[in-house]
Structure 1
């Protein structure tokens, strides 16, 4: 009998890792965008005050 492939033996780890990786990347992207928007708003507020 042939040994099952690595992917068939570890499909749950692959699926979990992909799920975690996608959510981590999305969270980091959201955080970067939020920070960027906040900085832009501060710059607009400073230029409006001057």
Structure 2
């Protein structure tokens, strides 16, 4: 059972989860619908002129 110790999980592309049992057996769990991860936004670029205050 996955709620017992020793299990690990990896999040793979497309939302698939790869569970690994304490004995090393791997199980793939695919989402029933597509999962879209948000795209990280780039930090704002500094303005060339400093503020006038």
Instruction: Assess same fold via TM > 0.5.
Output: no
TM bucket normalised to smaller:
under 0.3
Q: Which protein is bigger by CA-based radius of gyration?
A: 1
More strand by share: 2
More helix by share: 1
Give TM-score scaled by structure 1 length.
Answer: 0.24
